[in-house]
Amino acid sequence: MNYTFHWLPAFRALPDMLWGALVTLEIAVLSMVLGVFFAVLLAVGASSKYRVFRAAAVSWVELARNTPALFQIYMAYFGLGSLGIHLDSFVALLAGITFNNAGYLAETFRGGLRAVPQTQLRAARSLGMGQIQAFRLVMMPQMFRIVFYPLTNQMVWAILMTSLGVIVGLNDDLTGVTQEYNVRSFRTFEYFALAAVIYYLLAKFVTVSARLMAWRLFRY
């Protein structure tokens, strides 16, 4: 092996990469917020009495879970592009990951809802609560605990999926910035090793803070 490591240039790139990490986090957080929103709609839609809604929800979930995330992002950028709908890289990546998140989370929510016994709803209704009130005060908090860890996993996954933005030309997230430096100097190993450490720390940060939150939130 006659490769000489040059770490110094990689460390010089560190501030830029950290700014990139912020963009990465931004996309991941947005994709989760939107993902949760759509997942709730999908979970409700999947048990709708209207066939159209059911079919739409089921197709979304099936496609999101059974095709590569990379294809989903590709379709949002180039696929829609060839239909004349041009999204910029950031939006296309966000749309792709949101699509993926929503598909997975819809199943998580559906399972979570089923895991809370119907007798809880009955007990709440028997105390004079309306359907929505009973859901909000009794069913949702219990469901939230059940979906909390799957939600955390999806967040980690969303962070890692943002690296796919590089294929649709995103150049200001962590992978994008790293790649820009890489093509200029070809210190591939050093730059990407450093980026990997940052991804690792981001992911760890999410799981550790989730664990702390769970400890605070779920006292029962």
Site residues (vs another protein, CB under 8 A): 119-120, 122-130, 133, 137-138, 141-142, 145, 218-220
CB of 39 to another protein, least distance (A): 21
Look up residue 161 and give its two tokens: 């999926």
Residue 168 to residue 20: CA distance in whole angstroms = 16
In the complex with another protein, the residue whose CB is nearer, 142 or 171, is 142
CB of 55 to another protein, least distance (A): 28
CB of 95 to another protein, least distance (A): 35
CB of 152 to another protein, least distance (A): 19
Give every CB contact of residue 166 below 8 A, 6+ residues apart in sequence. Answer: 175, 176, 179
Residue 170 Rama label (left phi>0; alpha psi -120 to 50; beta): beta
CA 112, distance to chain mean position in Å, is: 18
CB of 110 to another protein, least distance (A): 20
Residue 211 to residue 79: CA distance in whole angstroms = 39
Residue 81 to residue 64: CA distance in whole angstroms = 20
In the complex with another protein, the residue whose CB is nearer, 68 or 130, is 130
In the complex with another protein, the residue whose CB is nearer, 97 or 138, is 138
In the complex with another protein, the residue whose CB is nearer, 66 or 119, is 119
CB of 111 to another protein, least distance (A): 18
Sign of CA dihedral 11, 209, 37, 112: positive
In the complex with another protein, the residue whose CB is nearer, 146 or 167, is 146
Q: What are the CA-CA distances from residue 34 to residues 12, 38, 104, 182 (Å)?
A: 35, 6, 13, 32
Q: Which of 191, 214, 198 is nearest to 160 (CA)?
A: 198
Look up residue 85 and give its two tokens: 């709908």
CB of 37 to another protein, least distance (A): 23
Look up residue 145 and give its two tokens: 């605990």
